[in-house]
Structure 1
């Protein structure tokens, strides 16, 4: 059962249990005759929902439609030094795409691997997407090689997550860094390459994150940048529909990419944060509180999935499907997470996120001191009351 169908069946099951329990109580009460007529529409609605579910399941299990041919189509991908971009560039090259892959460092390991393993149809371009001049030069280089042929696909993959910690503890440089790459950088690339995409009636595929839709604890800077990106891409999807350009967003689950498994990276981030925080603020939260957060992020990164194929497969699907979806969930659990976020009460979805991502045990130091003071005060008052009763 795939990640899309599971939440729908869970929803139906919960609804069935709820309605069934309610009907059992009604039939057992003396009001059953009058309430039966009132509840009959609900029973019919449940039956209709079950029928629709069966149809939906049958459609999902039917053979997928034939995909478009990859041969002769050109794709521009950002952020191919490692992770999703590197894996996608290799897969698309194998399928016969003409790939333009951007890297931050042409002499880096990721670029050398692409040069070594891919065909001559792959072109490496050194581009920092936060530098408009480099993006414009990449556009000129791409147009020069394409000639009169348009660009079929743009894969916005480049992104960073440079913060960990509570929103108040996150440095302003982290907020700006995430926005510069994840939002403004992607915006710059997309605007520059849109004329080529409109010419070919092609595709825009953007790798975003559930953190842009849901308030993950300790990811305020990253989540805010992805939220801005999601809104931009969704707006673009409506505006480009008359031009025949299809726009898709991919929402991956947790994967081991970039610096996420680099122990030295986390230690350096932690050191920079401790050195940059105002002494008063650090005292209120406590160094042990900040250290625990760093360790939780490291642990979460170590447990992340190393198999990037679900995301890469989804990129290929979004580029070659005759009817690409507006939103793809890539990886286990993402569909269920969005189901809980969309249909469950806020208190449940909020607690789910807290338990799912960063399971903090320590409270900020100031709150611990306050709790200790309140406890001592309560014990003192109880002792006084006992002495008065003895007298």
Structure 2
């Protein structure tokens, strides 16, 4: 029905334009209108039976919920868990069917990835490996000079190199059934907030890698999608809160002379505000992942954010840099931090 309505609307519009003598304009509109008709054509979703999906990071959060949902749809689910004996993995065992397998998987370890690949290859259903969902990730906070290179490497090892390691290993299997690759990014790929650099750079990397990979896979009929959630930190508990003393003790002496414990506490208060905010429904994100897996025409990107977050993203992407800089610097916490640094230097 939606397809028929779209087709009729297009022909009525073309007829109206032509009747007014706007031939050139009508001809120019034909390609985008044909595209609209194509989008409105009804198409059956992918049949889940006999197809497998491998998900990383199923101990908690989006991966845990998604594993349950895909199992309920009838997929053969391979759930990668960092702690297969932990409460998250054991919960999946109890609540899901025998079609779900828990696999020990640390995406930073070649040995784990190779063992998972061997198990998947030996236990594939008739239709093969339909999808890989690169969900495993960690997050952190802190200003650049509070961190060391090991912290940046750890975030990249999990969030970026882990996703690439998994992708490289499973390209042949997914390509055989012209399946799907799903990458979990973040709105942080667009909003480069202060004190978030360890996380932000990995999500920018995921976006760039996925863009290149998506274009390369088109010739094989393989679809690549990126999921970009907003702030779900209070729902997934991905962001860990530290005490002022814990942060202070990790700083070197030159940094301690520049920053104060009061400054650190301001940032901790902001993190606690994020973590104590009203939890959002995580199925908004997992439903987007499911659409990317079973839709006949999945989107390249699924932005799952609030209206306020959408406005900030638009500002960061389309407005001049000086404007977004001014916006962030006008925030109360940044103004307080600037004042504290000023008083620290003067003392």
TM-score by length of 2: 0.82
Summarize the Cα distance change of 1:362–1:341 in structure 2 as closer, same or farther, 3 Å threshold: closer
Summarize the Cα distance change of 1:364–1:156 in structure 2 as closer, same or farther, 3 Å threshold: farther
SS of the equivalent of 1:102 reads: strand
Does the alignment pair 1:156 with 2:134?
Answer: yes
The whole-number CA distance in structure 2 between the counterparts of 1:245 and 1:71 is 19
Q: 2:167 aligns with which of 168, 190, 198?
A: 190
Identify the residue that residue 275 of structure 2 maps to in structure 1. 301
SS of the equivalent of 1:99 reads: strand
Does the alignment pair 1:225 with 2:227?
Answer: no
Identify the residue that residue 385 of structure 1 maps to in structure 2. none
The whole-number CA distance in structure 2 between the counterparts of 1:235 and 1:62 is 28
Shift of 1:169: 1.7
Q: 2:261 aligns with which of 274, 277, 287?
A: 287
Does the alignment pair 1:103 with 2:81?
Answer: yes
SS of the equivalent of 2:136 reads: coil
Identify the residue that residue 123 of structure 2 maps to in structure 1. 145
Alignment of 1:111-150 (within 5 A): 111-146=89-124, 149-150=127-128
Question: Residue deviations 1:316-357, cap 9 Å, x none?
Answer: 110011111111101323433332223223233334456689
Alignment of 1:228-267 (within 5 A): 228-255=205-232, 256-260=234-238, 265-267=240-242
Q: 2:180 aligns with which of 203, 208, 214?
A: 203
Identify the residue that residue 13 of structure 1 maps to in structure 2. none
Identify the residue that residue 74 of structure 1 maps to in structure 2. 52
Contact 1:171 1:273 in 2 (8 A): no
Summarize the Cα distance change of 1:300–1:354 in structure 2 as closer, same or farther, 3 Å threshold: farther
Identify the residue that residue 330 of structure 1 maps to in structure 2. 304
Q: CA RMSD in A?
A: 2.9
Summarize the Cα distance change of 1:254–1:296 in structure 2 as closer, same or farther, 3 Å threshold: same
Identify the residue that residue 293 of structure 2 maps to in structure 1. 319
Shift of 1:101: 0.5
Question: Residue deviations 1:224-268, cap 9 Å, x none?
Answer: 11112221111111111111111000100111244447xxx5136
Question: Residue deviations 1:249-295, cap 9 Å, x none?
Answer: 0100111244447xxx5136x54431121122112111111121112
Shift of 1:191: 0.4
Does the alignment pair 1:213 with 2:187?
Answer: no
Q: Which runs of 5+ in 1 are unaligned?
A: 1-47, 374-391
Shift of 1:100: 0.5
The whole-number CA distance in structure 2 between the counterparts of 1:315 and 1:118 is 19
Report how many aligned residue pairs link the two structures. Answer: 315
TM-score by length of 1: 0.73
Shift of 1:72: 1.9
Question: Residue deviations 1:188-242, cap 9 Å, x none?
Answer: 1110011101111100011111222331111011111111222111111111111
Summarize the Cα distance change of 1:316–1:292 in structure 2 as closer, same or farther, 3 Å threshold: same
The whole-number CA distance in structure 2 between the counterparts of 1:301 and 1:319 is 30
Does the alignment pair 1:87 with 2:62?
Answer: no
Q: Which runs of 5+ in 2 are unaligned?
A: 1-25
Contact 2:260 2:344 in 1 (8 A): no
The whole-number CA distance in structure 1 between the counterparts of 2:200 and 2:42 is 33
Q: 1:339 aligns with which of 303, 314, 330?
A: 314
Contact 1:82 1:257 in 2 (8 A): no
The whole-number CA distance in structure 2 between the counterparts of 1:259 and 1:235 is 31
SS of the equivalent of 2:338 reads: coil
In terms of mean alpha carbon deviation, does 146-155 or 312-321 score higher?
Answer: 146-155
Identify the residue that residue 43 of structure 1 maps to in structure 2. none
